Amino acid sequence: MIHESVLLESRTLRDSALERTEVLDRVKALSLLPDGMHVTTAMVAAYFEVGIEAIKSLVKDYRRELETNGYRLLTGEELRSFKDLSGIQSHTRSLAIYSRRAILNIAMLLRDSEVARQVRTYLLDMEYLARTRPVDNPPAQTDRDSLDDRIDQRITHILGRTVVPMFNALIETSGEHRRELIALRTGVQSIERRLRQHHARLQRLEGPREDRLLAGVMASMDAMNGREFEEHVADLLRRDGCTDVVVRGGPRDRGVDITGRTADGRSIGVQCKRFAPHLAITSPDVQKFIGAAKVLHVSEVALYVATCPFTRDALKSPPRAA
């Protein structure tokens, strides 16, 4: 299986990544309508280097999901107001527009596009970085400042020196749409701030990566339910020479999900936790497991397997967390 293809299959994974719209510009420059916030179907097709019909077919199949993330079909008065505000010259009776979230949503659904595949790969890399960063060791202020200095000057120039002044001029001369224009200007300024916040993480993706495969592995495990994850870990134990491997996960597992024997004959107890990357395994979690493994199950080896980070205190708790 192609590793980035897990995003094609799991809406839960897609929803978890929709805030990372900055990866669109990292993969390829995205042209926007004059409102600075939307694109048309033709512009989406041009970005992904596919035909317009491919985008229309995708919208037909996933319309409800895309509408949740900013896809809209404008008609009537709403269309006329949008044309007046954005300066679009069009005589069509309807117009489909897409927000950046909707475009990213399409990138996670579009199969026959190399650009979409690159976007999915970036998203999985960012997911992997989020998992491996220590949860209680934020970067020093000096580190953040040095990263901010390297923000793409083209983006900040367009947003700060072109788009915002354009809104300022429109606000001064507009009466009927003044409130809407002020709201749009605030949105653009918010986007600029978010680009700065995300830039530090994007810098990590620019160099060559030897651990790219791990991103797909982690995403594949995210698509599993709890029982499937336990069975997966059990298969890994058998692969590494363990015997008598039994999956015991459930309300009566007494704190240990898997038991068995190592290749050299020692008894082993395993705890499996398939948590989201923003959560963390704490020291009390590890200590509770140690008590169950050592006292209730008399395990000689205690192994804690999780898909989320461990706090520093948890990593110091014996046995070694994994």
Report the CATH number at residue 307. Answer: 3.40.1350.10
Question: Is 320 contained in some domain?
Answer: no
Co-location of 132 and 233 in the same domain: no
- Residue 287, C-beta contacts closer than 8 angstroms, at least 6 positions apart: 317
Residue 94 bridge partners (DSSP): 75
The pLDDT, as a whole number, for residue 28 is 85
Listed residues 183, 215, 247: the one ending a domain: 215
Token representation of residue 77: 């008065």
Co-location of 182 and 307 in the same domain: no
The pLDDT, as a whole number, for residue 158 is 56
Q: Please say if the pLDDT value at position 138 is more than 60.
A: no
Q: Sorting pLDDT into bands at 50, 70 and 90, what band is 228?
A: confident
Q: Sorting pLDDT into bands at 50, 70 and 90, what band is 5?
A: low
CB burial of residue 38 (10 Å; 0-12, 13-18, 19+): buried
| pLDDT mean over 92-117 | 90
| pLDDT mean over 261-273 | 91
Q: Please say if the pLDDT value at position 20 is more than 50.
A: yes
Co-location of 13 and 65 in the same domain: yes
| Residue-wise pLDDT tens digits, 69-85 | 999 999 988 888 887 77
3 state DSSP class of 281: strand
Listed residues 185, 215, 245: the one ending a domain: 215
The pLDDT, as a whole number, for residue 144 is 44
Co-location of 238 and 186 in the same domain: no
Co-location of 209 and 279 in the same domain: no
Co-location of 146 and 233 in the same domain: no
Question: Is 321 contained in some domain?
Answer: no
Q: Sorting pLDDT into bands at 50, 70 and 90, what band is 197?
A: low
Is the pTM for the entire model greater than 0.85?
A: no
Between 254 and 306, residue with greater pLDDT: 306
Co-location of 71 and 152 in the same domain: yes
The pLDDT, as a whole number, for residue 166 is 65
CA-nearest of 70, 42, 75 to 56 is: 42
Q: Are 7 and 107 in contact (CB under 8 A)?
A: no
The pLDDT, as a whole number, for residue 71 is 93
Q: Sorting pLDDT into bands at 50, 70 and 90, what band is 267?
A: very high
**DSSP string covering 130-149, please?**
HHHS-TT-PPPHHHHHHHHT
> Domain of 197?
3-215
Domain count along the chain: 2
Q: In whole angstroms, what is the distance from residue 175 CA to residue 178 CA?
A: 5
Q: How many CB atoms lie within 10 A of CB 157?
A: 11
What's the whole-number average pLDDT of the chain? Answer: 77
The pLDDT, as a whole number, for residue 215 is 52
Residue 139 backbone phi and psi in degrees, to 5: -65, 150
Listed residues 157, 187, 215: the one ending a domain: 215
Residue 260 backbone phi and psi in degrees, to 5: 170, -165
Co-location of 266 and 172 in the same domain: no
Q: Please say if the pLDDT value at position 89 is more than 80.
A: no
Helix H segments across the chain? 6-9, 11-16, 23-27, 41-48, 52-68, 76-86, 100-107, 114-132, 141-148, 153-157, 164-173, 178-203, 212-222, 226-239, 283-291, 312-315
Token representation of residue 42: 């033709």
Co-location of 201 and 254 in the same domain: no
The pLDDT, as a whole number, for residue 147 is 41
